[in-house]
Amino acid sequence: MSAIIGAGLFSIVILISILLICGLPLGELTMGGQHKVFPKKLRIALVGQLLLQVFFVIIILQAGGIISLWFSHKITRIICIIMAVYLSLNIIMNFISKSKKEKYIMTPLSLFSAICFWITALRM
């Protein structure tokens, strides 16, 4: 169940990334709110990040036994733990952000996503 919830929560991050790439004014949700609308160079960089985000959704679903493994059980667990650590650090970064929207929207999203990744990885 934690894998499905984690994938769903992280899919919200994917949706936000897609909207940022399309030029919608949601930049206050990320990078300290530096850009209301992301410049084209940053949007191009977000495409790479988007691919990683999709990969991590696949990993948590694999770790939770929802879909077949691409990698060994051990490698999938390690990737899931790495993502859990990243999201745990991301909680802090979002919390200290100058952007209130990032602080109040993205911090809880990172927190609950991290919890789901940790639970899923440790139950494998």
Model confidence over 57-94: pLDDT tens digits? 999 999 999 999 889 999 999 999 999 999 999 999 99
Six token digits for residue 82: 């790495």
Give Rg (Cα) of the chain. Answer: 15
**Domain total in the chain:** 1
Angstrom CA distances, 25 to 19, 31, 38, 117, stand at 8, 13, 8, 29
Quick check: 55 pLDDT over 90?
Answer: yes
d(CA 20, CA 14): 10
Cβ-based neighbours of 49, under 8 Å, separated by 6 or more: 17
DSSP three-state, residue 70: coil
Q: What is the pLDDT of residue 33?
A: 87
- Torsion angle of C-alpha atoms 17, 109, 55, 11, degrees rounded to 10: -60
H or E stretch at 77:
helix 73-95
Structural domain harbouring 110: 2-123
Please state the pTM of the whole predicted model: 0.90
Model confidence over 25-49: pLDDT tens digits? 998 999 888 889 999 999 999 999 9
